[in-house]
Amino acid sequence: DSVLLRFNSDIVASGIVATGTSLMLTPSDDQPENTYSVTAIAIDLAGNLSNASSALTVRIDTTAPNPPLAPDLLAADDTGFDDTDNYTKNPQPSFILTGLSSTLDSVEIYFSGYSQSRKNAVISYINTDTLQIDFTVQASTYSVTVVAIDSAGNVSSTSPALNNLIIDVTAPATPDRDR
């Protein structure tokens, strides 16, 4: 028997299978981005066709999402003298992320010189969202960047950086009243 693999109504691969064995079929050409209903049909030696298998919906997506805009420290976590100086005492700060796609993406957030990133944080279907990191960042000065990852695993280029984010968790020395 032979098996035909169909994407929508187009036959994209075929192969001969022995009774009781399995067959791996790969489309003969790269398929363009689209959503497909994938089915298989068996043909016996006499040319009789089976009914189509149950359909499997497959989406082919090879386009990376647009990069997000530079992250911004959430004003509530910006604990410096004003809420725009990017000083914080919070070692797990939150960021406002903008320039996200209207599809369900995830993000990775990176701190320069730091080996850990937040992986696969699910972001909603809106252009702007808030993300709190779930790991502790050491006190230092950082550049923070973000990449978006769509549901097909395509990764955007890196966002512009939020530069000079200062995390300072050390309280100042107690004033000496005699000086």
Confidence of residue 7 (pLDDT cuts 50, 70, 90): very high
Locate 82 and state its tokens.
Answer: 């004003």
| pLDDT the model gives residue 59 | 92
- Identity at 156, one-letter amino acid code: S
The DSSP secondary structure of 48-107, one letter per residue, reads PBPPPPPPEEEEE--PPPPPPPPPEE-GGG--SSSTTS-EES-SS-EEEE-S--SS--EE
Confidence of residue 18 (pLDDT cuts 50, 70, 90): confident
Residues 65-115: tens digit of each pLDDT: 999 999 999 999 999 998 889 999 999 999 999 988 777 678 889 999 876
In this prediction, residues 14-36 reach a mean pLDDT of 87
Total Cβ atoms within 10 A of residue 19: 5
- The CA distances from residue 142 to 76, 87, 110, 112, 172, in Å, are 19, 11, 9, 5, 21
Residues 36-47: tens digit of each pLDDT: 999 999 999 899
Name the percent of the chain lying above pLDDT 70: 93
Q: How far apart are CA 45 and CA 60, in angstroms?
A: 33
Locate 90 and state its tokens.
Answer: 């919070």
Tokens 């966002």 found at: 159
Name the percent of the chain lying above pLDDT 90: 58
Q: How far apart are CA 179 and CA 177, in angstroms?
A: 6
- Identity at 111, one-letter amino acid code: F
